C-alpha cells in the first residue's frame, strides 16, 4: 500500500504550531501513516529545539518535488515565502500572511494531484485580518481555493463524528438553511466519509432542529417538512440513517455506540457537545471538498507559545485521520 | 431551623414513580432535609413493596392538615382522587388524570402557604393528552396554576446550573425571543436562586446566541444589540455576570468552576451539554414562580417500571435541591 502524501501546514509561527509539529515527529512516527511534507519554516522549528528531546531531522527543501524525493529526514517547504522571525505570543501580520501562503501552496499542490490533502495547525484570525485577508478560517479558505460551495464543517473523535449542515452563519440564518436538499447532501457527504474510513455497519443519526425534535409539530415544523423527507429519501437510496432524533439525547446515544455519525442542524448543536467532551482528541474535518483536509481542534494558544507545555495530541489525531481518509479511498 | 414543607408528587403510577419514592425513603432520610408529604396513592406504593428492602411506613391521610400533624410514618395524600389500579408500563388516561390532579392539589397547597412547593416525579405526556389535558409538561402546568408568565426552565447539577431564557419554543421563535428585557429577567431570576442557595462569590456567565458569540457581528448581531446591553445593565445593578461567552466553550468553563451559572439562549443550548454529562444527578427546576418546584430529570420509564431496576438518584437530588432552596430563603 502506498501511503498518502499529506501536507502539514505550520500555521502561525508565533503560536504553538512549530512546537506541536516538532513533538509530533519526536514522539510519534507519522511517516508510518503517511508521507508528510511540512509547509512552513525550518528556522521556526529551530526555535523550539530546546523544548523537544530527540529533536527530529527537519530538512529545508525548495519545491514539492524535492520534498517528495527526499531520502533522509523530514522535508520542510516554505512555498517560496520566508516567514518573519519568530516572536512567541505576538500578533504579527507577517506571520498571518506566511500562514495563509503556506495553506495556499499546500492546497494547490493537492489540487494538482501531487498531494492528497493537508493537515493544518492553527492560524490567528486577528493576524490574517491585519494582513488584509478576510477568511473566517481554514475551512472557508480551502473551500474557496478548491472552488467548492457544498463543503461541510465536521468534528470527529474516535467515538463521535459530527457533520454540520451549515458552518459560520448566524443562528437565524442557520435555521432558515434547514432544507431537505442541504440535509440530503450532508447525509451523503457524511456517509462517503464513513465508507472511506471503512467503518463496519455504520448508522447515521439525523438530529432534529427544535427542542424534542419539534414534538410532532407542536414547536417547529422543520422536522416534518424538511428533515424527515430528507431521511426518507436517503434511506430509499440505501443510506443507513434515522431520525429526527431529539437534539438533547442524540449525542449520548452516539457516545454509547448506537450511531457512528450525527448530522447536526447548526454549528453549535455539534460544537457544544463535542467541545465539552473532547479534550485533545478532537479533529476538525472539511468534507465535500475534492482533497483531504483535517485540522487540530484548538487555536494558536499564544499565551503558552514557546513555553514547552503545548500538547501534540490533537495534531496526532488530525494526521492519523487524514492518513486514514487518504489511504483507503 | 424549621424544615420546609414539600409536596412530593407521585406522577404516573404505571411508571417508575412509586418505586423511586419507596427507594428514596428506604435508602435516604429525606425527613432530615424537609418535611415531605407524598401526593399520590398509598396502594400504588404497596405494589412495589417486594422491590424495596426495609419498606418505609407510608400512611394514607385525608388532608394536607392531617399530613402535617402526622406523628409517625410518611404521609400519603391522594388529594381526594383515588388512582386507578396499577398496570406497570401501560398508558392509562386515568393514571394521567390522577397525576395531574395530584400536581394541582400540591400546587394549590403551596400557593395557599401550607407548603413551600413541590418535587415532581415523571408524568406521561401521552396519558395526559389522552385524558384531555394539553400541557407540554409540569413546567407549563405549574406556571399556569401560579399565574406566572415569566418563569424560567432550568437544569441544575452540583457543578452546572443552567437557566434558559425560553423553554418549549421552536428554534426560530426562540431566536426571535432573544431580547434585552428577557435576558435581564433571566439573569435576575438566576441570581436570586444563587443567593437562595447561598453560593459564595457566584459568577454568572451569559452565553452568546450565535457561533463564536457572533464573532463581532460577522454572523449575527444579537450579541451586540441585545445580550451585551442586558449584561451591562445587570452589572450596573450589582449582579456579577459576564459575557457573551461563545456557546461551545461556556459549559466547559462552568464545569471547571469558573462560573456557577450559565444563562442559555435557548432550550437545547443548555439541554444538550447537561444531558450529555449528567447521568442521574440532573434536576429540572422552575424559577421565577412564587413557589419552589423541582423535578427529576427523566421520564416515566414505562419500559422498566415494576422491574426493580429504577434508580432514585435524580429524585434524591431534586428533593435535596428543593429543600435547600426552601430552607435558606
Spell out which residues of chain B touch residue A266, defining contact as CB-CB under 8 Å: 211
Task: Determine contact: A255 vs chain B, CB below 8 A.
Answer: yes
Q: Of the candidates A168, A221, A269, which has its C-beta nearest B219's C-beta?
A: A168
**Whole-number pLDDT of residue A328:** 56
Interface contacts (A, B; CB < 8 Å): 103
**Whole-number pLDDT of residue A158:** 84
For B:147-176, CB contacts with A below 8 A are 167-173, 175
Distance from CA of A172 to the nearest CA of B (A): 7
Spell out which residues of chain B touch residue A167, defining contact as CB-CB under 8 Å: 211
**Whole-number pLDDT of residue B134:** 85
CB contact under 8 A, B173 and A219: yes
Q: Which CATH architecture has domain A150-288?
A: 3-Layer(aba) Sandwich (3.40)
**Whole-number pLDDT of residue B328:** 57
Which of B112, B122, B2 shows the shortest CA–CA distance to B64? B112
Cβ atoms of A173 and B222 within 8 Å: the answer is no
Instruction: Give the rounded distance of the alpha carbon of A3 from its chain centre.
Output: 20
User: Per-residue DSSP letters for B233-295?
Assistant: HHHHTT--EEEEEPHHHHHHHHHTTS-SEEEESSHHHHHHHHHHH-SS--EEEEESSSSEEEE
Q: Indicate the pLDDT class of residue B280, thresholds 50, 70 and 90.
A: confident
CB contact under 8 A, B215 and A269: no
Distance from CA of B118 to the nearest CA of A (A): 25
Task: Determine contact: A251 vs chain B, CB below 8 A.
Answer: yes
* Mean pLDDT, residues B69-93: 94
Q: Which fold does the domain A1-148+289-329 belong to in CATH? A: Isopropylmalate Dehydrogenase (3.40.718)
Q: Of the candidates B175, B249, B275, which has its C-beta nearest A172's C-beta?
A: B175
Of all residues in chain A, the one with the smallest CA distance to B251 is: A276
**Whole-number pLDDT of residue B32:** 95
Half-sphere exposure of A142 (CA within 13 A, CB side): 30
**Whole-number pLDDT of residue A161:** 97
Residues 6+ apart with CB under 8 A from B320: B33
Supply the angle between the helices A267-277 and B267-277 in degrees, to the nearest 10: 30
* Mean pLDDT, residues B267-275: 96
What gap in Å lies between CA B117 and CA A171, rounded to an integer?
A: 37
What gap in Å lies between CA B317 and CA B295, rounded to an integer?
A: 9
Across chain A, which has 329 residues, the per-10-residue mean pLDDT values are 92 97 96 96 96 94 95 94 92 95 96 96 92 87 91 92 96 98 97 92 97 92 98 98 97 95 98 89 92 94 94 95 83
Domain residue limits, chain A: 1-148+289-329, 150-288
Q: Of the candidates A167, A169, A276, which has its C-beta nearest B273's C-beta?
A: A276
User: Per-residue DSSP letters for B298-328?
Assistant: S---TTTTTSS----HHHHHHHHHHHHHHHH
Residue B93 has pLDDT above 60, yes or no: yes
CA-CA distances (angstroms) from residue B275 to B87, B220, B250? 29, 27, 15
Q: Of the candidates A173, A214, A275, which has its C-beta nearest B252's C-beta?
A: A275
**Whole-number pLDDT of residue A279:** 72
Task: Determine contact: B177 vs chain A, CB below 8 A.
Answer: no
Beta bridge partners of A36: A6
Residues 6+ apart with CB under 8 A from A58: A22, A25, A38, A42, A45, A73, A74, A76
In sign, the C-alpha dihedral spanning B285, B161, B260, B229 is negative
CB contact under 8 A, A175 and B173: no
Cβ atoms of A18 and A86 within 8 Å: the answer is yes
**Whole-number pLDDT of residue A329:** 46
What gap in Å lies between CA A146 and CA B100, rounded to an integer?
A: 59
What pTM, to 2 d.p., does this model score? 0.92
What gap in Å lies between CA A246 and CA A243, rounded to an integer?
A: 8
What gap in Å lies between CA A106 and CA A104, rounded to an integer?
A: 5
- Domain A1-148+289-329 identical in fold to domain A150-288: yes
* Mean pLDDT, residues B60-72: 95
CB contact under 8 A, A171 and B251: no
CB contact under 8 A, A255 and B267: no
Amino acid at each position: 500500500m502506498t501511503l498518502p502524501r499529506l501536507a502539514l501546514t505550520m500555521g502561525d509561527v508565533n503560536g504553538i504550531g512549530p512546537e506541536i509539529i516538532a513533538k509530533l515527529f519526536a514522539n510519534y512516527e507519522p511517516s508510518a501513516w503517511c508521507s508528510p511534507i511540512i509547509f512552513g519554516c525550518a528556522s521556526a522549528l529551530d526555535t523550539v529545539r530546546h523544548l523537544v528531546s530527540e529533536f527530529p531531522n527537519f530538512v529545508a527543501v525548495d519545491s514539492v518535488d524535492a520534498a517528495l524525493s527526499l531520502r533522509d529526514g523530514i522535508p520542510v517547504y516554505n512555498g517560496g515565502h520566508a516567514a518573519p522571525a519568530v516572536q512567541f505570543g505576538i500578533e504579527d501580520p507577517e506571520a498571518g500572511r506566511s500562514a495563509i501562503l503556506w495553506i495556499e501552496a499546500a492546497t494547490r499542490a493537492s489540487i494538482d494531484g501531487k498531494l492528497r490533502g493537508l493537515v493544518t495547525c492553527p492560524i490567528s484570525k486577528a493576524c490574517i485580518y491585519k494582513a488584509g485577508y478576510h477568511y473566517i478560517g481554514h475551512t472557508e479558505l480551502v473551500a474557496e481555493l478548491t472552488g467548492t460551495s457544498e463543503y461541510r464543517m465536521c468534528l470527529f473523535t474516535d467515538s463521535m463524528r459530527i457533520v454540520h449542515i451549515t458552518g459560520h452563519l448566524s443562528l437565524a440564518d442557520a435555521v432558515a438553511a434547514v432544507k431537505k436538499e442541504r440535509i440530503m447532501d450532508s447525509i451523503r457527504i457524511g456517509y462517503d466519509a464513513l465508507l472511506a474510513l471503512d467503518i463496519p455497519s455504520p448508522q447515521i443519526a439525523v438530529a432534529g432542529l427544535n427542542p424534542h425534535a419539534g414534538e410532532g409539530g407542536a414547536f417547529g415544523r422543520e422536522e416534518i417538512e424538511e428533515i424527515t423527507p430528507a431521511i426518507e429519501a436517503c434511506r430509499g437510496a440505501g443510506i443507513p440513517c434515522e431520525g429526527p432524533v431529539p437534539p438533547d439525547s442524540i449525542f449520548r446515544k452516539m457516545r454509547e455506540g448506537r450511531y457512528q455519525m450525527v448530522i447536526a442542524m447548526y454549528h453549535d448543536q455539534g460544537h457544544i457537545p463535542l467541545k465539552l467532551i473532547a479534550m485533545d482528541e478532537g479533529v476538525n474535518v472539511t468534507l465535500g471538498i475534492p482533497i483531504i483536509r483535517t485540522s487540530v481542534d484548538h487555536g494558536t494558544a499564544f499565551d503558552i507559545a514557546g513555553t514547552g507545555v503545548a500538547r501534540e495530541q490533537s495534531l496526532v489525531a488530525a494526521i492519523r485521520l487524514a492518513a486514514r481518509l487518504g489511504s483507503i479511498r
